C-alpha cells in the first residue's frame, strides 16, 4: 500500500489551515506495517512537525502535491482537494478526509466517478447508534476554541470594542449568544460559562 499525504492548502474557507493528516508517530506505525508513505515537503509545518521528523519515521518526502497524489493508492487529506489537483488522482485510488461531499462541486464528484475513486468523508463515519464520532470530536475542539477566537476578536487591537468576556468587578460580563445547541454549541457554552460570561443558546429544539 502506498499512502500519500499532501500539504493542505494555506486557507480553507478563509481560515488558516495548519493540520496534517498523520503525525510522525502515525507514519512510523504505518511504515512498520509495511506501507510506503509519501509526504509533500512542508505538510507538517503548521502542526509543528518538520520534514526531518517524518523522514526519520520512514516517510519519503516529495516536493509537490502532484507527485504525492500521483504516486499514492490512498491519499489522506484534511479537506477536499483543490480543483488544480482533481486530475492528479489515478484510476482506482482512494481518498480519505473531511470532504463534505454533500456541498462539494458537481465537477469534483464527476471526476471521482470517472476515475472510480473510493472516497471516505470522515464527517460521515457513523456508529451503529447513528452518532458521528469523528465529527463529534472535531465539534468539541471547535467549541472549546470559540472562547479563544472570540476573546481575540473583541480586543481593540483586532478592531473589536475592547470587551472583556468574563467582566471584572463593576463591569458586567459579555453576553454570548450561541446559535445551535449541538455538540459544538454545548462545548462553546461550557467554555464561555467557565470564564464567567453570560451565555444564551438559541436552538430549534
- For 190, the grid coordinates are 461550557
d(CA 76, CA 6): 7
**How is 155-183 classified by DSSP, letter by letter?**
SGGGTS----TT-BTTBPPPEEEEE--SH
CATH code that applies to domain 133-202 = 3.40.50.720
The answer to whether the 2-124 and 133-202 domains have the same CATH topology is yes
- Mark the ranges of the chain whose per-residue pLDDT is less than 50: none
**pLDDT score at 58:** 97
**pLDDT score at 12:** 56
Per-residue pLDDT of 92-134, as tens digits, reads: 999 999 888 888 889 989 999 999 999 999 988 999 998 889 8
**pLDDT score at 13:** 59
Q: Is the separation of the CB atoms in 8 and 43 below 8 Å?
A: yes
One of 19, 82, 90, 100 is an active-site residue; which one?
Answer: 100
Q: Is the separation of the CB atoms in 99 and 112 below 8 Å?
A: no
* Residue in the block written with cell 472583556: 164
**pLDDT score at 160:** 84
Is 9 annotated as catalytic? no
- Topology (CATH level 3) of domain 2-124: Rossmann fold (3.40.50)
Residue 53, CA distances (Å) to 60, 75, 102 in order? 11, 20, 36
- For 95, the grid coordinates are 481518498
Q: Is the separation of the CB atoms in 3 and 31 below 8 Å?
A: no
Domain positions in the chain are 2-124, 133-202
**pLDDT score at 104:** 87
**pLDDT score at 15:** 67
* 3 state DSSP class of 198: strand
Instruction: Note the pTM of the prediction, 2 decimals.
Output: 0.78
Amino acid at each position: 500500500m502506498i499512502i500519500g499525504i499532501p500539504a493542505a492548502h494555506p486557507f480553507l474557507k478563509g481560515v488558516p489551515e495548519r493540520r496534517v493528516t498523520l503525525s510522525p508517530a502515525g507514519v512510523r506505525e504505518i511504515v512498520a506495517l509495511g506501507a510506503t508513505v509519501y509526504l509533500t515537503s512542508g505538510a507538517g509545518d503548521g502542526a509543528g512537525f518538520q520534514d526531518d521528523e517524518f523522514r526519520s519515521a520512514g516517510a519519503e518526502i516529495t516536493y509537490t502535491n502532484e507527485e504525492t497524489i500521483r504516486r499514492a493508492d490512498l491519499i489522506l487529506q484534511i479537506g477536499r482537494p483543490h480543483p488544480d489537483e482533481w486530475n492528479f488522482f489515478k484510476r482506482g485510488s482512494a481518498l480519505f478526509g473531511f470532504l463534505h461531499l454533500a456541498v462539494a462541486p458537481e465537477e469534483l464528484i464527476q471526476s471521482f466517478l470517472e476515475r472510480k475513486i473510493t472516497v471516505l468523508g470522515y464527517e460521515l463515519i457513523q456508529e451503529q447508534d447513528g452518532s458521528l464520532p469523528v465529527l463529534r470530536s472535531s465539534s468539541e475542539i471547535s467549541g472549546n476554541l470559540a472562547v479563544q477566537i472570540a476573546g481575540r476578536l473583541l480586543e481593540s487591537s483586532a478592531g473589536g470594542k475592547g470587551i472583556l468576556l468574563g467582566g471584572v468587578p463593576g463591569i458586567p460580563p459579555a453576553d454570548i449568544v450561541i446559535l445551535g445547541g449541538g455538540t459544538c454549541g454545548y462545548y462553546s457554552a461550557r467554555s464561555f460559562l467557565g470564564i464567567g460570561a453570560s451565555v444564551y443558546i438559541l436552538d430549534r429544539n
